[in-house]
Structure 1
Amino acid sequence: MREIKVVPYKTEWQNQYEIEKRLLEAIFGAEILSIHHIGSTSVPGLAAKPIIDILVEVKQISLIHTYNNEMVKMGYECKGENGIEGRRYFQKGGEDRTHHVHMYEQGHPEIGRHLRFRDYLRKHADVAWEYARLKQELAKKYQFNPEAYVERKTSFIRNVDEMAFENDDVPFISKQNRVQ
């Protein structure tokens, strides 16, 4: 049974991301357009589950399955779309997950959403602190119920997404490309 643990920010998360980024670049090569550290471990000072989330923008999502064997050799479990159309998702570490890789084809609206969310938290420490407090509270309450933990964070995340869309200092993607 997977246990939810939210821990204080660790500076080594950035190094863990950099190591994994190089491994992904070696596997996918020219298919990669960009790689980003996302999620709570990408926001300095933010308490988080110690799982490195990586967003990879690729040229053609339809080709990603051809790399599954290489990802398995690197310790990843290939999860297909895993509930999000147009995504390819990989997780590493089994019940004690260490990494999540989210791959999207260039132009997919989830790319902008993830990056706006991250950048908004980086620029608004008060909101990041509020998010950390919520996650710590939910981790205690739903320690062995990952689904409830995620579900209870959803409205907060949607609110931050909305603020990021409306905020001029996080201009990653135009409002016309807004995810509903």
Structure 2
Amino acid sequence: MHVKVVEYTEDWVAQFQREMEKLRDLFGEELINIHHIGSTSVPGLKAKPIIDMMPVVKQIDRIDAYRPQMEMLGYECMGEFGIPGRRYFRKGGDNRTHQIHAFEQGDPNVLRHLAFRDYLRANRKDAVRYGDLKADLARKFSDDIESYMDGKDALIKEIEKKALDWYSHL
């Protein structure tokens, strides 16, 4: 997968909204909420142009039954994909456009993702630092997604720690 980081665009909000409606129709009563997460959800943040979405559902195991419908929407079903309790779907192959990270209500990963997003929305200095690092890594490792991901890891952990502390005091 080619790594490309671009400037923020308002179109990411519209892309999220369009896909959210499809998922809302599909998951129906099982769905509690759908959140736009990841870098494309933070105004002004440089990002890979991939929309990360987090459906929060009543029972995560029930999401497995939606596999055929998700495939009809163009998603590849990846199961937990390294995070217990998650259902991960990706759309677009090597030119990925969307990623779905579904969790059951109460899973600590829901809080982690929302805290990280909201912290970056409220703390411009860390958002710029994170965006600049991602852009630099994308230039250095444009054809090496693993090195790109590894290069972000320490800063993500630092910001995540701050975000969870910040979020707990809201």
With normalisation by structure 2, the TM-score equals 0.97
One-letter amino acid matched to 2:12: W
Greater displacement, 158-167 / 5-14: 158-167
> Match for residue 124 of structure 1?
123
Matches within 5 A, 1:1-180: 2-167=1-166, 170-171=167-168
- Output the CA distance in 2 between the equivalents of 1:17 and 1:172: 29
Distance (Å, rounded) in 1 between the aligned partners of 2:94 and 2:50: 11
Provide the aligned C-alpha RMSD in A: 1.1
Letter in 2 for 1:100: Q
**TM-fit CA distance, 1:172:** 8.4
How many residues matched?
Answer: 170
Instruction: In structure 1, give the amino acid aligned to 2:14.
Output: N
Q: Following the alignment from structure 1 to structure 2, what is the Cα–Cα distance between the partners of residues 33 and 166?
A: 25
Q: Distance in 1 between matches of 2:46 and 2:101?
A: 21
Question: Matched residues in 2 for 1:81 and 1:103: separation?
Answer: 9
Any idea what the Cα deviations from partners look like across 1:109-136, whole Å, max 9, x if unmatched?
Answer: 1000000000000000111000010000
Quick check: 1:25–1:32 contact (8 Å CA) kept in 2? yes
- CA distance in structure 2 between the aligned counterparts of 1:160 and 1:23, rounded to whole angstroms: 32
CA distance, structure 1, for counterparts of residue 128 and residue 144 of structure 2: 23
State the Cα distance separating 1:171 from its structure 2 match. 4.0
Structure 1 runs not aligned, ≥5 long: 174-180
Note the alpha carbon deviations across 1:61-89, whole angstroms, 9 max, x for none: 11111000000000000000001000000
Give the TM-score normalised by the residue count of structure 1. Answer: 0.92
Q: Is the 8 A contact 1:79 1:89 kept in 2?
A: yes
Q: Which runs of 4+ in 1 moved over 4 A?
A: none
How much identity, in percent, do the aligned residues show? 48
**Quick check: 1:3–1:143 contact (8 Å CA) kept in 2?**
yes
Residues 26-69 of structure 1, C-alpha deviations (whole Å, 9 max, x = no match): 11001001110000000001110000000011001111110000
Counterpart residue type for residue 104 of structure 1: F
Task: Measure, in 1, the Cα distance between the counterparts of 2:20 and 2:78.
Answer: 19
